[in-house]
Copies of this chain bind each other. A is one copy, B any other.
């Protein structure tokens, strides 16, 4: 908690945020109107336009801001401010997902507006939550600070990416090529959500991922099951037998060494998660399920945040159209992804999966593999006092205490910051579960935007 003059420094900025909210919304709407769909080459020009718009806006705040071209869409890099605290690097992305199917939207996705809903006012439009609305909470916090104090709140750098929604092909090469320039004391990543509408959150555990496709081949062509059935190997049968061994009857993954580097969450974190009041029945009930399906003796929250998985994401082989075809296929395929936690080594797990497949291959069958991503899990070192400082700052802004939470998905940028720049990350965001990211009618709560800006004012005052 800040006291005395520091406190009043902050309060003046918070007042400025409140007074400037309408103008801040107007600025966000301008950015939302730019159709920066990164995956579609037809939108190359709008992507550059969004980058230029951000460079101009940051320059106005006193940042040394520049558009940095890449083989794909440009990066925006900015530096500014001075301070006794940590040098912070803020990351966000200005590109957005495609908008189809357009007919499911209640308005033009690139004509944003405030809408009144049962849960309060929302900003409707593509990118409102993912990620333009979120990244502008940070920019507006800087703007308010500058307006009140004439300076930025501390030593800040900014990295805005334009390819997050299309696989970030330029990100790591750019970070490697500009490592010295980009390295700071701590990265702030604003692409996550709150625990609920009243409870802000810092995401401290991200699962990693290992993706692999298995292709089992037998005969050199599809066979007629009347002529060959019984005598010829059936790759679907072989694949099913392999996949069926991946989990034992308790839901535990059986690959050799799979749990190397995995441990239970510390008692303190367990107690905190317990206190979240997570309702597994409601979480599963939302999608018409009832029983946590993962490892026995772990809660649904652990199963999705702190326990690893081995999931089959796709399977195909033989005839799957209408009706029936008595074919013995030449091959069958499965796409498998393991969500990883703690210190699991994705490469060792890929090797163990391949070994399982090879070990179970019957005569006449061969296996081929296609490797997809390998991201290690990211576990933030919350021992760093900055985490508790930020948690307290967030708690002052919202009705309930901020919490440390996990995230079952992967946010590769945090791993890249660690691996390429040796820099820890703090993930703070103000999204809600019903924001419809990547979907029609994406929205961002006006409260998320408004109190998100105010939250950054508090966090920056405390950290930078």
- How many angstroms from the CA of A325 to the CA of B221 in the assembled complex? 28
A283: nearest residue on chain B (CB-CB)? B231
**A230 interface neighbour in B290, B303, B333, Cβ under 8 Å:** B303
A169 at the A/B interface (Cβ < 8 Å)?
A: no
Which residues in chain A, 276-317, are within 8 Å of chain B measured between CB atoms?
280, 283-284, 287-295, 300, 303-304, 307-309, 311-317
- How many angstroms from the CA of A290 to the CA of B329 in the assembled complex? 16
Across the interface, do A304 and B227 meet the contact criterion of CB distance under 8 Å?
yes
Q: A304-B228, A304-B230, A326-B313 are in contact. Are A290 and B408 (CB under 8 A)?
A: no
- How many angstroms from the CA of A219 to the CA of B291 in the assembled complex? 11
Across the interface, do B318 and A317 meet the contact criterion of CB distance under 8 Å?
no
**A229 interface neighbour in B221, B315, B316, B339, Cβ under 8 Å:** B339
* Total contacting residues, chain A, CB less than 8 A: 80
A48 at the A/B interface (Cβ < 8 Å)?
A: no
Across the interface, do A362 and B293 meet the contact criterion of CB distance under 8 Å?
yes
Q: A240-B240, A315-B317, A319-B335 are in contact. Are A232 and B289 (CB under 8 A)?
A: yes
A363: nearest residue on chain B (CB-CB)? B291
Name the B residues within 8 Å of A409 (CB-CB): 224, 226-227, 326
A371: nearest residue on chain B (CB-CB)? B324
**A335 interface neighbour in B207, B226, B324, Cβ under 8 Å:** B324
Name the B residues within 8 Å of A329 (CB-CB): 313-314
Across the interface, do A236 and B312 meet the contact criterion of CB distance under 8 Å?
yes
Which 5 interchain pairs have the tightest Cβ spacing? A226-B409, A244-B244, A230-B303, A314-B318, A316-B320
24 example contacts (A-B, Cβ-Cβ < 8 A) are as follows A211-B326, A218-B289, A225-B337, A227-B409, A228-B304, A229-B309, A230-B304, A230-B308, A231-B284, A232-B284, A232-B293, A237-B247, A237-B311, A239-B315, A291-B362, A293-B362, A311-B326, A313-B327, A313-B328, A314-B325, A315-B317, A315-B318, A316-B317, A320-B333
